Chain A
Amino acid sequence: MNVLSVEHLSHSFGSRRVLDEVSFSVPEGGMCILLGRNGAGKTTLFSLVTGLYHARAGSVLVLGHAMKASPSTALAQMGVVFQQLTLDLDLTAGENLRYHAALHGLSKALSKERSIEELSRLEVADRIDDPVRALSGGQRRRVEIARALMHDPRLLLLDEPTTGLDVPGRRALERHVRELCRERGIAVLWATHFLEELTADDDVVVLHRGTVRWAGRADRLAADLGVASTAEAFALLTGAE
């Protein structure tokens, strides 16, 4: 069953077309990597998938609910980690999580319980009462992921979540998210331009200049293009050096 279906999505800013007929889907428990260079259209795609604004054409379905027709139902199933930090620096980690929980209609008791649970899972529970301003980049990202999971979503969207993190931080974040897919059956859409974040059994969508250049399992990418490595295949698809 597909948790997220993006169908023939097109968008333009004025006369500039930034997405053109983009289609892909993410199944339950699946990890889909949206791979593209900077400016490929990943962030615009995230804005459309999260309903920040509507596409000029095409549709976004979350568990069968169209984002245009039933945005609240679709958004209730979705946890989002945006590329830019969206935590409130003046609030503590716990206060940020409880704010998010309130926006999703969770009761105070449940909100408190979930915030401890999610922060513990991401190994930052000891920082619950610290202002976000005092946390490191990696800890902030983990708090953001914990926050996105507060309302127990079926779909997790992460827009370049490892930006600004060191290598161990990136690895740890990747590990946590993959565990979420396995253990909780959450569907994940992970946008990145780092090839090293792919594993062989991930679903990959290569986006370049607003169009899907290739989609399939990561271990098929190089073979399909007749090159020796994933990096070569990506360079071929996107014209990268």
Chain B
Amino acid sequence: MNSLIFKRVKTKTTLSYNNFDKYLFLLIAVGPVLAGYILFGLFPNILTLFYSFTRWDGISPKIFVGLENYINILKDINMWTSLYHNLIILIFVPVVTIIFSLFLAYALVNKGFKENKFYKVLFFFPNILPAIVITLLWSFIYDGEFGLLNAVLKLIGIDMQSFYWLADEKIAIFAVMVPMIWVQTGFYVVIFANAMMSIPKSLYELARLEGASHFKQMFQITIPLIWGVIKVAIIFTAVGTIKSFEYIFMLTNGGPYDSTNVIGLYMFNMAFARNISHQYGYASAVGMFLFVVLVGINYIIDRLFSKEQSQF
């Protein structure tokens, strides 16, 4: 109570305790987390760089080889096909995800259908599922003999016989993208719907008075006004496609005939696949390469879209 008598001279946002208790608290509060972060977060990143200059199977002593691994990356045909697959995914997944989620979010926000509230919850749902559940579900859907996809297609008159969607060299890369889109779209529906809700309704009413269609309203009002959010979503989904290899690992493990291999998966298998001799040094160099690719993509997308934004 007596504290109320004191008047604060300037607004403070932090308190300075000056005693033994404070340092004990700090020690417990910061020490373990910082130690864990350094040991499991920072240190491994530095070690990757170190490993990348060695030849090492993980068991026998490391041999320092200088830039050999990096030179091998340039010559490694698997590396370039994997990078090519990464690029295909990088283009398709963000574009499709964002277009779908923009339309769905627009319908949820601007159309007063009574089922909309339920849809929002349902669309988001796949995001909370473990990757293994999603991929096993989809490998059942894609199955040739008893799969849901062939059954649905047959229902609408397209007979695929017993076509295995994940076993076809040309189709598999597209088949592995569908679950990614299936999951992520619901996430961006929520993000975009939240952003769209802050757009004043009067803007749409005005456009409607002038006879603008929903399409026109969406492209001339909604999208420009939430462009900042869309841009972040593009970066997020793009970077996500490079980072994530779990779906592909579980669905096809890069096959058939490496037609779905991506860099992350290539690195992962080199280091962790069972029953092969591991190449930690080379895998680390690939990891560093991946890091550079990620930074590059971030930079390019940022550059590409920051100019366009100034138009609005």
Query: Does A pair with B?
Result: no
